[in-house]
Structure 1
């Protein structure tokens, strides 16, 4: 007899998880790239990291210090996976 409390991975659960992992990976890579570009530069400058045209992070070097500022495109890395998760959940409820 199968235990009804045991849940297995379904296509929609796996798809939603993969979308979130991809978004986190893109964000982490953009953050590291902006930070490394700012650190490697010897003079004051800014370095924009984009993904599909949306600015994610802006690396900067000013007065010998470097850092990274978030940009508006970073919201897309939260909103897109959130909508995908809602869509996959809605599809799950419709399927038998």
Structure 2
């Protein structure tokens, strides 16, 4: 089953940041410059983390993975441009 994750990153190197961005586009929707909403399986999350950990510099970079339960996801608000990523296969807790 799929779960909703918000993945954000702060990567100082342009090439590494670009690699992570392109990789994440395969799994989710970019909602801000360094933030993706991803509706993914546990196996997908492991793949993402493995790729990220092989790519980033642990001394200068940061990637965060926020699991959002249904209640949290339903309370997300957007001011300005953008929509909430929606998927009917989402696992609800």
TM bracket, shorter-chain basis:
0.3 to 0.5
Structure whose residues are more often strand by fraction: 2
- The alignment's TM-score, normalised by the length of structure 2, stands at 0.33
Structure whose residues are more often helix by fraction: 1
- The alignment's TM-score, normalised by the length of structure 1, stands at 0.32
